[in-house]
Amino acid sequence: MVQLAPAAAMDEVTFRSDTVLSDVHLYTPNHRHLMVRLNSVGQPVFLSQFKLLWSQDSWTDSGAKGGDHGHVHTKEPPSAETGSTGSPTGSGHTQEEDDVLGEEAQGSPHDIIRIEHTMATPLEDVGKQVWRGALLLADYILFRQDLFRGCTVLELGAGTGLASIIAATVAQTVYCTDVGADLLAMCQRNIALNSHLAAAGGGVVKVKELDWLKDDLCTDPEVPFSWSQEEISDLYDHTTILFAAEVFYDDDLTDAVFKTLSRLAHRLKNACTAILSVEKRLNFTLRHLDVTCEAYDHFRSCLRALEQLADGKLRFVVEPVEASFPQLLVYERIQQLELWKIIAEPVT
């Protein structure tokens, strides 16, 4: 759990042995995090913003190490309706939030993604943080707009919803899924905070519960973020892209993700492509008395197993994606970040 310092130094967090902190929050472009509320389980929720580099220069600035964006000159991104104050209609952020964020909140609203998130959480709540893999996936979506444009897409383990928000700038319908009412409510809040970005591209984001440990989607109208029969039909009839970022840190969950991917691919009416983002994390383990990357190794073994799956209906083609595409979000693109593409197509 998180122990906070006095209110005057709210960003100073005291860590305990079960604390997990995303590197993004250590190197985020804005140095201050505005605490906006406590969530339903009493965790502080912060508001951070991530800079979008809508720049021709950045489209030629490629490479796994990231680039120096200090001299990038931004151009105007796709336009959207704005209110009289210059803020996008229905953007969801308050004047008080902008005042606290200060100069960092200035400029075109289309250059900034505002994300509510928690910091320094227990392992079971890491989905409430922002991770580098989500930013890498967002970069890829912006780079491959042709792949996503006008499509129905589904994100597995969306967390704060950052990648789904980016996908909505080009996709027609985005099903943004995860589990846990509190996490999904945060995700819904982030969709509202950035609704102007989706509106510019005509995209619609629907936040829904999808539990990898269950075979069927929840249709109970009494359950928050459940599915209607019309949404399920739309999902299965029109989805062509699946994507997930940083959900491969636990072997049991990784197994569940791949089982869900296979199950969905078999139920979808059309052939589909899955894009997976993962960070290869090195850890020293007492069991090996050495530095290993067990979670990543298990992820790779699941990729191999999926590729070798033979049921006479679908075949899965697994390909690595070279991370040399332009970086349009400000973060540290380290060499340990990887993207994988899985193409599911009928056996002929």
Residues 49, 113 contacting (CB under 8 angstroms): yes
pLDDT computed for residue 293 by the predictor: 82
Whether the predicted pLDDT of 268 surpasses 70: yes
Express each pLDDT in 158-215 by its tens digit. Answer: 999 999 999 999 999 999 999 999 999 999 999 999 999 888 878 899 999 999 999 9
Give the least confident one: 31-40, 147-156, 198-207, 339-348: 31-40
Residues 209, 127 contacting (CB under 8 angstroms): no
Express each pLDDT in 281-323 by its tens digit. Answer: 876 444 544 556 889 999 999 999 999 998 889 999 999 999 9
In the chain, the percentage of residues whose pLDDT exceeds 90 is 58
- What's the CA gap between 46 and 121, in Å, rounded? 12
- What's the CA gap between 175 and 200, in Å, rounded? 18
Average pLDDT, the chain: 80
- What's the CA gap between 320 and 275, in Å, rounded? 10
Q: Determine the average pLDDT of the residues in 82-101.
A: 35
Q: Considering the domain 124-346, what is its CATH architecture? A: 3-Layer(aba) Sandwich (3.40)
Express each pLDDT in 141-163 by its tens digit. Answer: 999 999 999 999 999 999 999 99
> From the CB of residue 163, how many other CB atoms can be counted at a distance below 10 Å?
30
Three state DSSP letters for 157-183:
CCCCCHHHHHHCCCCCEEEEEECCHHH
pLDDT computed for residue 157 by the predictor: 98
Whether the predicted pLDDT of 26 surpasses 70: no
- What's the CA gap between 215 and 223, in Å, rounded? 17
Looking at residue 5, the DSSP 8-state letter turns out to be P
- What's the CA gap between 264 and 266, in Å, rounded? 5
pLDDT computed for residue 62 by the predictor: 38
pLDDT computed for residue 223 by the predictor: 95
Whether the predicted pLDDT of 86 surpasses 70: no
Residue scoring higher pLDDT (278 or 201): 278
Q: Are strands 204-209 and 152-156 parallel, antiparallel or unpaired?
A: unpaired
Residues with Cβ within 8 Å of residue 26, at least 6 apart in sequence: none
Q: Determine the average pLDDT of the residues in 84-110.
A: 41
